[in-house]
Every structure is written in C-alpha cells, then in structure tokens.
Amino acid sequence: MARDFLAEMDALLNHEKETIVVEHDEFLDFQKVWVNYDHRKEIVGAAQRNGQVIYRCAESGIV
C-alpha cells in the first residue's frame, strides 16, 4: 500500500507531525507529490545516509 504523502505533508504543516521520513525507494513517489504541493517551500529536507531524507517544516515557515 502506497503512502499518502499529501496527507503527511498537510499533517506536517498543521504541526500534527514533526517529520516525514522518506526512504530511498519511496523518494520518486514523494517527489511527484511534493513538486505539485502548494506549500512545498515550507517543507525542507535533510539528506541522510543510504538515500533517506527527513523532511521538516521550515523554521521561519518560508524558505
């Protein structure tokens, strides 16, 4: 079952969730949703080892 990245990003911006952890094999699916997300500039990612990316809400709200 595929993850609902749109719902996860909404939860992140509503402070219902602190992070979104995207594994290497999920990245392209996440990217397709993120590119079309209206508030994508408010979500920043930090690359980890082995292709994992941890996304958080930007500190200032806008990057």
Task: Tell me whether residue 26 is in a domain.
Answer: yes
pLDDT band at 1 (very low <50, low <70, confident <90, very high): low
Instruction: Check: CB of residue 6 under 8 Å from CB of residue 37.
Output: yes
Could you list the beta-strand ranges (E) of 1-63.
20-22, 43-47, 53-57
Structural domains counted in the chain = 1
On whether residue 63 sits in a domain, the answer given is no
Task: Note whether residue 20 is domain-resident.
Answer: yes
- Rounded to whole angstroms, how far apart are CA atoms 9 and 56? 9
pLDDT in tens, 7-32: 999 999 999 999 999 999 999 999 99
Residue 25 lies in a domain: yes
Range of the domain at 40: 5-57
What is the spatial distance between Cα 13 and Cα 25, in angstroms, rounded to a whole number? 24
Structure tokens at 20: 């979104």
Does residue 12 fall inside a structural domain? yes
